[in-house]
């Protein structure tokens, strides 16, 4: 199946990045959100990020203008129905995703492929609530989408070969690399990454090290570009907690128990960079550890 028209649901951190890379690769993109302000902010951020690419010489001004011209926005979810491929990138809550796919269903072409950018939720279960489980799969981009090379492709139990091959070809056209993951909680990247972050939070919780010492140790001792607590703030502590809960519930193993300190930060609304406070306080010129 040839993919030309792509719908993206959710104009947040992931959705705007997904729209960016698809438009840059020549696809016509319709970006949907429930908030007009979010759509306007996404368009402004995409333009800013493309301007940065032009300044670095990785994109021409002509290609930037053409790519921006291929992005349209809508508050009406039904307008995405005629897309060849739809990527849901809404909040990491299964009931929200199910409601989105339910609302989309009456508007879809028979051949439209549905995908979710979920980082942890069962693709098989999401697909089962739609009218096309064979044309449904996980399409998990890494953050920030324009920079990160990997896309996880996750088949549900009913996903057919044509759908997989089509999505695999899309990843290649985007100039990215795919890794195929089986449909188990958190797939590959987050199955490995989140327990590491959770263990770093336990290390802080138990007083083994401070925020600074933990992040410095992993950056200099393991050659990580960001420390685990800094990375948690970048991802969003609510997202980290959600994924740990999916792992804990889905695999029934105590090694995935979310650290109580992570829960406490989320309860406080200290979710990281997006709320200006997490394991670091971002309200000043320089981030300051909060513990």
Q: What tens digit of pLDDT does each residue of 174-193 get?
A: 999 999 999 999 999 999 99
Residue among 24, 116, 122, 152 flagged as catalytic: 152
Tell how many helices (H) and how many strands (E) occur in the chain. 11, 10
How far CA 139 is from CA of 103, 113, 118, 154, 286, in Å, comes to 20, 11, 8, 7, 35
Say if residue 15 carries a ligand binding annotation: yes
Chain segment 38-50, per-residue pLDDT in tens: 999 999 999 999 9
Q: Residue 69: how many CB atoms within 10 A of its CB?
A: 10
- The answer to whether residue 242 is catalytic is no
Residue among 190, 198, 230, 242 flagged as catalytic: 190
- The answer to whether residue 190 is catalytic is yes
Chain segment 105-140, per-residue pLDDT in tens: 999 999 999 999 998 899 999 999 999 999 999 999
Say if residue 175 carries a ligand binding annotation: no
Residue among 20, 88, 120, 140 flagged as catalytic: 140
Does residue 290 register a pLDDT over 90?
yes
Residue-level pLDDT at 124: 97
**Cα–Cα distance measured from residue 181 to residue 138, given in angstroms and rounded to the nearest whole number:** 9
**Cα–Cα distance measured from residue 231 to residue 235, given in angstroms and rounded to the nearest whole number:** 6
Instruction: Give yes or no for a contact between 220 and 238, defined as CB atoms under 8 angstroms apart.
Output: no
Mean pLDDT along residues 252-268:
97
Chain segment 212-249, per-residue pLDDT in tens: 999 999 999 999 999 999 999 999 999 999 999 999 99
**Cα–Cα distance measured from residue 250 to residue 91, given in angstroms and rounded to the nearest whole number:** 19
Structural domains of the chain, ranges and CATH numbers in brackets: 5-182 (3.40.50.720), 191-289 (1.10.1040.10)
- The answer to whether residue 72 is catalytic is no
- The answer to whether residue 245 is catalytic is no
Residue-level pLDDT at 177: 98
Does residue 92 register a pLDDT over 90?
no
pTM of the model: 0.90
Residue-level pLDDT at 210: 98
Say if residue 182 carries a ligand binding annotation: no
Three-state secondary structure call for residue 260: helix
Residue-level pLDDT at 107: 97
Residue that the structure tokens 């792509």 belong to: 6
Say if residue 242 carries a ligand binding annotation: no
Residue-level pLDDT at 38: 97
The mean pLDDT of the chain is 97
Does residue 29 register a pLDDT over 90?
yes
Residue among 24, 119, 178, 198 flagged as catalytic: 119
Instruction: Give me the percent of the chain exceeding a pLDDT of 70.
Output: 100
């Amino acid at each position: 199946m040839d993919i030309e028209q792509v719908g993206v649901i959710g104009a947040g951190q992931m959705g705007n990045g997904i729209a960016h890379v698809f438009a840059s690769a020549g696809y016509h993109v319709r970006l949907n959100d429930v908030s007009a302000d979010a759509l306007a902010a996404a368009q402004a951020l995409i333009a800013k990020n493309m301007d940065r690419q032009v300044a670095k010489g990785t994109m021409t001004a002509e290609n930037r203008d053409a790519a921006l011209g291929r992005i349209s926005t809508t508050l009406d979810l039904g307008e995405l129905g005629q897309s060849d491929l739809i990527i849901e990138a809404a909040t990491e809550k299964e009931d929200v995703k199910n409601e989105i796919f339910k609302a989309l269903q009456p508007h879809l072409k028979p051949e439209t492929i549905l995908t979710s950018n979920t980082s942890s939720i069962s693709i098989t279960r999401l697909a089962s609530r739609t009218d096309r489980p064979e044309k449904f799969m996980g399409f998990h981009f890494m953050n920030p989408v324009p920079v990160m090379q990997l896309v996880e492709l996750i088949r549900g139990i009913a996903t057919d070969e044509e759908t997989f091959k089509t999505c695999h070809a899309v990843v290649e056209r985007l100039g990215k690399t795919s890794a195929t993951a089986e449909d188990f909680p958190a797939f590959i990247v987050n199955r490995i990454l989140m327990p590491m972050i959770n263990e770093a939070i336990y290390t802080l919780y138990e007083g083994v090290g401070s925020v600074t010492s933990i992040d410095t140790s992993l950056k200099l001792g393991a050659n990580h570009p960001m420390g685990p607590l800094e990375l948690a703030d970048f991802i969003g502590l609510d997202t980290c907690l959600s994924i740990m809960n999916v792992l804990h519930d889905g695999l029934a193993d105590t090694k995935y128990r979310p650290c109580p300190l992570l829960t406490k930060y989320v309860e406080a609304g200290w979710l990281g960079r997006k709320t200006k406070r997490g394991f670091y306080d971002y309200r000043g010129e320089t981030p300051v550890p909060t513990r």
